[in-house]
Structure 1
Amino acid sequence: MGSKEPKPKKTRGQAGQGTVYWDEAKGCFRGEISLGYTPSGKRRRPKVYGRTKTEVREKLRELVKEAKSGVKPSATYTVTDAVTDWLKRGLKGCSKATLDKCRNLANKHVIPELGRAKLKDLTADDVDDWLDSKAGELATRTLRELHAVLRRAIQFAQRRDKVLRNVAELVDTPQGKEGRPSKALTLSQARDVLKAAEGTRLFAYVVLSLMVGVRTEEARALRWEHVHLSPLAGVPPHVEVWRSVREHGDTKTKKSRRTLAVPEPVVEALRAHHAAQEDDRKVAGGAWQDNRLVFATVVGTELDAANVRRAFRAIVKESGIGGSWTPRELRHSFVSLMSEKGVPLEAIARLVGHSSTATTEIVYRKELRPVITEGAEVMGDLFK
């Protein structure tokens, strides 16, 4: 008869590391560790299983960490659970735009691709691989926002003792694909766009954005009490850009609050727009919501940014200038046209509400043609 194979012996680690031995009934290694006593006085000695001693010892170490931290991760709590809970209860006080953006990123990218993973089993490598897989299709800014959604969702779960650590904090956001650079209309293109916009509901919006340089978020928040279309005591027609659609109605920065004179074409467009809005009010009757918004829907409510973009794309298509354009590029066009006419950088910075000329140069460097070419012109003359 052949001799029997010796059974693996129990192996004891150092104090506090538990005991590992072969479990004949289950056909795998088993580990046990003493973690003190329950409030009722019963000894806490949980058991873990694994195919190797190393695997079992790692599980025992995790139990010790959990015991020391006081956190008891749920074995069934998934990434979907964490993200859903955060979206439901972790964004209190945020604007609707922020809520919508976070939901869209979560529902489109996080939940479909990481949602089934148990949160306690999610690793930094998992997050790294996931972000790397998105880098080819998303711009860097979107990647950062996506990474932030996962990181903040896990933070929310941590604060509720659902998981011991936040693996999303151990990962750097990769570089995404190049975003489409902003561009500016030439004078000829601007005229074509204005002509195509005539007769549309967005005409006054386009005229104001192009000829005054307000941000789209400022235009959508503009109220009639901040619009003064008749000269008064030597003060020309002007608009008070004091609000935006940002949370709490604040403008982007303190210096973004500014009062701007408006040229005659803007005055005419706004007067016609006001008359058209009065017609909307009569047609809407009791459904009209008097928010005093300059740019509103047919019932007086705030314009949706996506609807403005869609309407502007239709105007651009009608103009025949070609290419893809967004409403915010009307502001870029304002800076470009002002710069081409030799308006000093300091004046442009004040008009667009920047805190310094450095901001204007960084954001609109492509539009500041005289500033960009000045150095080359001087050196060309010197070394001609």
Structure 2
Amino acid sequence: MAQAVEDWLEFERSTVGKKTKEGNEEKYRLHIKPYLGARRLKDLRPDEVDRWLVMLSASLSTSTLKQVRSVLGRSMRRAMKRGLVERNVVELCPAPTGRPGRPSKSLTLQQASDVLDKTRGHHMHAYIAVSLLVGLRPEEVRALRWSRVHLVDEDQRVPHVEVWRSVRVGGDVKTRKSRRTLAISGYVVAVLERHRQDQAEWREAAGPRWEDHDLVFPSRLGTEQDAHNVRRMFRDALKQVPGLDVTQWTPYELRHSFVSILSERGLAIEEISRLMGHSGTAVTELVYRHELRPVLEAGASVMDTVFPSLNAKSEDGDDDAP
């Protein structure tokens, strides 16, 4: 089994990004090789796979469990195509429900204001402002180019950013609808202008070591930021905000906060979906259902105003009131 998975990792996954490959290799190393690596392909039974998945479900989230199963299943499928095994027993074993993952959350309006105010002096402030006030995905922020940022009036157009790239494989955005042009507020314009000045100082300090990739949020040497470094620096910036547990927040939750603030201010879900770059409102409701709670409760609020007499009867103790 170990040889089959290693063969798949080397040849079948050559077109995916570096991070995806590393993730698949880690899943194999931690969750497949120690338990099933020594099993002969033709001897592996469905009940063994079932027990293995149930064992993993105690420590892995449902999504991670499905990914681990996928690595094993695709490896078996490749081996079957090469005549090394007659059937793919993994396909007979659905992934069980894993342990609950950490629920997503969003900043309150007051918390968001505090974050913007208290991180002004931190070098991550511009990153935070763009993520929180424009709602870009972390992979879109990291790939943003200055050539796609328009801070001055051009042909009477408002300041805007063109979200055309991400750090995903091939540099494209997540979906077709993710390629979008978004107006930016005056606050974001001012922050980015200051950030561009700071970046010029970084370039001068780096000298010949600077690599110019036109990135808005590069490292101090001009190279593309690593997601882990961004998360570390983001949490370092949040240390400036009293009352926030920095270990409980990630850059992606700035995007959740963007949705929450717009929703609380009454923006329609159709408009929020367009700003987020989703293919439709169903995705927005599924992924950001907690942040959309004020909008989803709007129906009950309207009904309370349409049928106030029913509420009054109930409060008076009328047994016939529904």
Query: Does the alignment reach a TM-score above 0.5?
Result: yes
CA RMSD across the alignment: 1.6
The CA distance in 2 between the partners of 1:327 and 1:275, in whole Å, is 24
Identity %: 49
2:288 to 345, 364, 372: 364
Q: Distance in 1 between matches of 2:85 and 2:265?
A: 60
The answer on 1:195 being equivalent to 2:113 is: no
8 A contact 2:124–2:233 mirrored in 1: yes
State whether structure 2 residue 25 is matched by structure 1 residue 88: no
Given residue 92 of structure 2, which amino acid in structure 1 is its aligned partner? Answer: L
Conserved 8 A contact 2:62-2:99: yes
Structure 1 residue 379: Cα displacement: 3.3
Scaled by the length of structure 1, the TM-score of the pair is 0.76
Q: Is 1:106 the equivalent of 2:11?
A: no
Larger CA deviation: 159-168 vs 346-355: 159-168
Q: Among 231, 251, 257, which residue is 1:333 paired with?
A: 257
Could you report, residue by residue, the CA deviation over 1:143-176 in whole angstroms, capped at 9, with x for unpaired residues? 1001001111222222333323222111111111
State the shift of 1:298 in Å. 1.5
Distance across 2 between alignment mates of 1:143 and 1:198 = 40
2:274 counterpart residue number:
350
Whether the aligned pair in 2 keeps the contact of 1:192 and 1:321 (CA below 8 Å) is: no
Shift of 1:284: 2.3
Q: Aligned partners of 1:279, 1:160: CA distance in 2, in Å?
A: 57
Q: Does residue 222 of structure 2 align to residue 304 of structure 1?
A: no
CA contact (8 A) 1:184 1:330 kept: yes
- Verify the 8 A CA contact 1:185 1:333 in the aligned structure 2: yes
Distance in 2, matches of 1:295 and 1:180, equals 28
Aligned residue in 2 for 1:61: none
- The aligned amino acid for 2:8 is W
Which sits farther off after the overlay, 276-285 or 265-274? 276-285
Q: CA deviation at 1:207?
A: 0.2
Query: How far apart are the structure 2 equivalents of 1:166 and 1:354?
Result: 35
Q: 1:122 aligned to 26, 44, 49, which one?
A: 44
SS at match of 2:66: helix
1:151 paired to 2:83: no
Report the secondary structure of 1:319's partner residue: coil
Q: 3-state DSSP class of the match of 1:260?
A: strand
Q: Which has the higher contact order (CA 8 A, sep 6+)?
A: 2
Match of 1:377 among 286, 291, 301: 301
Letter in 1 for 2:276: V
Helix, strand or coil at the partner of 2:220:
coil
Q: Secondary structure at the match of 2:275?
A: helix
Unaligned runs of 5+ in 2: 312-322
Q: Which has the higher helix share?
A: 2
Q: How many residues align?
A: 306
Unaligned runs of 5+ in 1: 1-78
* Partner amino acid, structure 1, of 2:73: R
Matches within 5 A, 1:1-384: 79-323=1-245, 324-381=248-305, 382=307, 383-384=310-311
Q: Which amino acid aligns with 2:251?
A: P
Of structures 1 and 2, the larger Rg is shown by 1
Structure 1 stretches of 4+ with a deviation exceeding 3 A read none
Report the counterpart of residue 317 of structure 2 in structure 1.
Answer: none
Q: How far off is 1:363 after superposition?
A: 2.0
Superposed CA deviations along residues 270-322 of structure 1, whole A, max 9, x for unmatched, are: 11221222222222222222211111111211111121122222233431333
SS of match in other structure, 1:240: strand
> AA paired with 2:116?
L
**Length-normalised TM-score, structure 2:** 0.90
Distance 1:152 1:112 in 2: 18
Q: Letter of the aligned partner of 2:167 in structure 1?
A: V
